[in-house]
Amino acid sequence: MTERDLKKGTTTLGLVCTDGIVMATEMRATMGNLIGHKTTQKLFQISDNMALTVAGLVGDAQMLARWLTAEVKLYELKTGTTMSLRAASTLMANIMNGRRYMPFWVQLLLGGIDSEGGHVYSLDAAGGSIPDKFQTTGSGSPFVYGVLEDRFIEDLSVEQGKMLGVRALTAAMKRDSASGDGISMCVIDSNGYHKVSPEDIAKIQTKLAA
């Protein structure tokens, strides 16, 4: 069995809220039954208005995050404007679709805000790009979908979204052995990209436990 076969397992999510978006992941990286890393970065800031979560092969995911960050920055430098989420998701889809001889072994969520509001796009290994109000990827995604289908509402605020994101990831980490070791989360709103601190996540977890 190759390293490509072994590096599997993740849970990520993205939520569109009325006043921004919430993106979150857990932090465990597995190699079969082995927990390879406990503080793996799966949430990447692409720009002031855009973030990417990754699931799948680590090397592919990191390279794609760097590639998209560079392309978005070049676009901003050339045009003096912010790239829309639709354009960024189409760009990422074309990059992934163009590598048919050896697909990128990843599932991505691209989220952010632009002049049309908040968006979360799911991108698959073949270059498919699908927007929705909430999305999740990885081995823990069935457990996340169970929580989101039950509790997501159309007028969700960012504060409610943070709470829901922690609740959903906690459910996944309890049942999916490939997910765990903490939560990484960000909010993107009209003021830009904000990383949610571990202390704030711990406070949310305490509220949920109560």
* Per annotation, catalytic residue among 10, 82, 137, 170: 10
Domain that holds residue 25: 3-205
Own/partner pairs, 196-200, CB within 8 angstroms, 24+ separation: 196/24, 196/162, 200/162
Would 210 be classed as within a structural domain? no
Would 26 be classed as within a structural domain? yes
- 114, pLDDT greater than 70: yes
What pLDDT score was predicted for residue 2?
Answer: 37
Q: What digits encode the pLDDT tens for the residues 29-76?
A: 777 778 878 888 999 999 999 999 999 888 899 999 999 999 999 999
What pLDDT score was predicted for residue 7?
Answer: 45
Residue 85 in contact with residue 50, Cβ under 8 Å?
yes
* Residue whose entry in the numeric block shows the structure tokens 């799911």: 122
- Cα separation, 188 vs 35, in Å, equals 30
On average, the pLDDT of the chain sits at 90
Number of separate domains in the chain = 1
The helix/strand/coil state of 45 is strand
* CATH number of 195's domain: 3.60.20.10
Would 200 be classed as within a structural domain? yes
Alpha-carbon separation of residue 124 from 87, 138, 156 (angstroms): 16, 11, 26
The HSE-up count of residue 99 (CA atoms within 13 Å, CB side) is 14
Q: Specify the pTM.
A: 0.91
Is 10 labeled as catalytic in the residue annotation?
yes
The neighbour count for residue 101, using CB atoms within 10 Å, is 5
Q: What digits encode the pLDDT tens for the residues 153-202?
A: 989 999 999 999 999 999 999 988 778 789 999 999 999 999 999 999 99
Mean pLDDT score, 93-112: 87
